[in-house]
Every structure is written in structure tokens, then in C-alpha cells.
């Protein structure tokens, strides 16, 4: 059975006129550096916590030089209680040092360059490219990976594999939107355990139930 991805997006776009609040916040940043740091904070942390800690972190500054004026303890105080806050404080300061020393304080707009930063994976790089620079990218997190496989649109074992498959078959007009739309759906209905298939607006297009 061919998956009608256009219909799926059409339905979900109408079903979720408002998206995840943190994604809306990320969209408002329009700054590659802030998007990068917010992404670091968001890893293994609830969106509500990330939202608060990101706001607090950005009171310290808006560029790498600003953050290098602070100690690791200062960064920890700003981002607590984000998950793994001690490690994230180190990652943030290391990224800032590398940006200043190697990239003239400018966040690269290239995935391969971004992946050179310790603590930065493909999910983060794609968000920086998409949200920070407004360039085509596909950010695949656990929600996108799970939903695409449940739908039967891809058959993959990891988010990275899902990204590569989506790059081959997903129409480019959906590349930037799939992350925010599927995260919202994945947090509300297509949850990891016990998905609410009985109220899902795209049940008729999902291979999980066909």
C-alpha cells in the first residue's frame, strides 16, 4: 500500500493549528547560535524545563564571547534543572571556545562542520540548519522516527537511518515542517507506549492498523 503522505500532512496541519510551545519558541529565535544552545539544553529534557532554562541562559549573553566570560558553575546555575546539566555546561563552553577559536564566532551552516563539535548530533545540526538558517533540512528525533515507521512510510531502525530515507522520498516542501508537526502528534496521540489510535486523525492512513 502506498502511503499518502500529502493527505497525512494535510490532516495533521488542520488538526494541530498550534504546535508544541517549545518548537514555537525555537522558531522565534532565528539565531543559529541560540538555536544551537537551545538544542543542547533540550536533549533528554522536558520541553517545559528547556523553555525556562533557555530563557535564563540567554540572559547571560547572545554570542560565544559573552558566555566565555562565565565559569562552568555559572552556566550550571543558569541551566539547572535541565537533564545532565553539568555535562551540558561543559559542552556549551567548549562549543563557545571552538566557535571563537576556529570559526570566528560564527556557527557553521554545514552539517559536516557542525558534527565536529563534541556533543552535537544530527538532530541538533539539522535544527540549526533549518531553524537557525532557514535552509532545507530534516530533523529526525524519536517522534519522527517512531511515527514514520508506524505509518509504514519508512522501515528503519534508527533516527539517522530514518533521516536518510526521508531525504530520498519525502517531498522537500515538508522537510522543515515534519519535525514540529510529528513531535506535536507524537506527544499528544502517537505516544511511544499505548498510542491513542482510537482518536488519531490519520488512523485510516496508518499501516499499524491496516
pLDDT tens track for 128-174: 999 999 999 999 999 999 999 999 999 999 999 999 999 999 999 99
Closest C-alpha among 18, 23, 42 to residue 176: 23
Q: pLDDT by residue (tens digit) across 7-50?
A: 999 999 999 998 877 778 888 888 999 999 999 999 989 888 99
The predicted pLDDT at position 210 comes to 46
Question: pLDDT averaged over the chain?
Answer: 94
| Residues 62-88, mean pLDDT to the nearest whole number | 97
Q: pLDDT by residue (tens digit) across 91-100?
A: 999 999 999 9
| Residues 48-53, mean pLDDT to the nearest whole number | 91
The predicted pLDDT at position 1 comes to 65
Closest C-alpha among 140, 146, 119 to residue 36: 119
Answer yes or no: is pLDDT of 202 > 90. Answer: yes
DSSP codes, the chain? ----HHHHHHHHHHH-SS--HHHHHHHHH--HHHHHHHHHHHTTS-HHHHHHHHHHHTTS-SSHHHHTTS-HHHHHHHHTTSTTHHHHHHHHHHHHHHHHHHSTT---S-HHHHTTSTT--HHHHHHIIIIIH--------HHHHHHHHHHTS---SSHHHHHHHHHHHS-GGGTTTHHHHHHHHHHHTS-SSS--GGG-TTGGG-TT--
The predicted pLDDT at position 68 comes to 97
Which of 44-48, 49-53, 86-90 holds the top average pLDDT? 86-90
| Residues 172-199, mean pLDDT to the nearest whole number | 95
Answer yes or no: is pLDDT of 65 > 50. Answer: yes
Our measurement of the distance from residue 112's CA atom to the centroid of its chain's CA atoms, rounded to an integer in Å, reads: 17
**What domains, with CATH codes, occur in the chain?**
5-19+138-205 (1.10.1670.10), 31-133 (1.10.340.30)
The predicted pLDDT at position 209 comes to 58
The predicted pLDDT at position 70 comes to 97
Torsion of CA 131, 168, 141, 203, to 10 degrees: 110
Amino acid at each position: 500500500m502506498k502511503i499518502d503522505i500529502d493527505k497525512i500532512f494535510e490532516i495533521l496541519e488542520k488538526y494541530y493549528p498550534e504546535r508544541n510551545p517549545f518548537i514555537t519558541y525555537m522558531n522565534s529565535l532565528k539565531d543559529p547560535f541560540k538555536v544551537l544552545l537551545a538544542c543542547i539544553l533540550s536533549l533528554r529534557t522536558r520541553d517545559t524545563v528547556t523553555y525556562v532554562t533557555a530563557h535564563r541562559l540567554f540572559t547571560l549573553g547572545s554570542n560565544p564571547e559573552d558566555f566565555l566570560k562565565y565559569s562552568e558553575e555559572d552556566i550550571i546555575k543558569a541551566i539547572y534543572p535541565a537533564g545532565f546539566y553539568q555535562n551540558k555546561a561543559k559542552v556549551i563552553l567548549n562549543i563557545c571556545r571552538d566557535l571563537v577559536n576556529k570559526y570566528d564566532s560564527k556557527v557553521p551552516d554545514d552539517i559536516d562542520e557542525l558534527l565536529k563539535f563534541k556533543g552535537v548530533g544530527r538532530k541538533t545540526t539539522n535544527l540549526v540548519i533549518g531553524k537557525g538558517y532557514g535552509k532545507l533540512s530534516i530533523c529526525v528525533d524519536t517522534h519522527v522516527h517512531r511515527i514514520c515507521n508506524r505509518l509504514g512510510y519508512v522501515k528503519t531502525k534508527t533516527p539517522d537511518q530514518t533521516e536518510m530515507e526521508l531525504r530520498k522520498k519525502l517531498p522537500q516542501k515538508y522537510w522543515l515542517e515534519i519535525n514540529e508537526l510529528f513531535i506535536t502528534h507524537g506527544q499528544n496521540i502517537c505516544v511511544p507506549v499505548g498510542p491513542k489510535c482510537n482518536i488519531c486523525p490519520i488512523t485510516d492512513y496508518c499501516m499499524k492498523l491496516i
